[in-house]
Amino acid sequence: MKIGLRGGHSPNCKGAIGILDEQDEVRKIYNALAPMLQAAGHVVVNCNSNANSVNAELSEGTNKANSNNCDIYVTIHMNASDGAGHGTKFSAGLHYLNASAMPAMIVETLFCDNAGDAALYGKLGAAAGIARLIAEGITDKSKDKVYFFDGIGVRELNHPDEKKALQQTYRECTGREIPEKLYTTKALWYQRQQDVINRSYLKKF
């Protein structure tokens, strides 16, 4: 997948500034995230900008994504909340989402003027920690998960050793191997299985 990636704003046209400087930090996140995505087999197109105005830096980033025919466009930001650390905003006029020729997303990582968010950012490993979480979201780590059907419901396994233990127990009890099926999100029945996984199957009768 070709990913247009951008740390929002520009060194010459700053974003929000609080406990953390949004533009400085999102560029650090970009620098950590790009190699993670490349290591996962994706092509990363640098859509950063050093422009001097909001319109210029917005257009430069989106134009890079469009001209490179990216599959998705991801731009990283931080928000501000007067220190409150919460708040939902709605806007239908965001340039990234309207001017991109491909699916686009704005990742608002945290509130840069909130002490709690800033502390958590540091605890996660600052830029690298946030970058890892974004990379996992983009690359869909859920496709590597293993699920076990016990005859009643489907359960997600949390560790490879759980699979080994189940396989060994099944083998000792039946003399056979547990049937396995490999699937992807392209399989027609994938969503049906996800519906079962996400549904509570323990009911009182």
pLDDT in tens, 58-111: 999 999 999 999 999 999 999 998 888 877 767 777 888 889 999 999 999 999
Whole-model pTM: value is 0.68
Domain chopping of the chain, boundaries: 2-139, 142-197
Q: pLDDT tens, 171-181? A: 899 988 888 77
Residue 202's pLDDT is 45
Fold type of domain 2-139? Aminopeptidase (3.40.630)
pLDDT band at 40 (very low <50, low <70, confident <90, very high): confident
- Predicted confidence band at 29 (pLDDT cuts at 50, 70, 90)? very high
Q: Report the C-alpha gap between 66 and 110 in whole angstroms.
A: 27
Torsion sign over Cα 29, 34, 35, 38: positive
pLDDT value of residue 136: 86
Percent of the chain residues past pLDDT 90, beyond the cut:
50
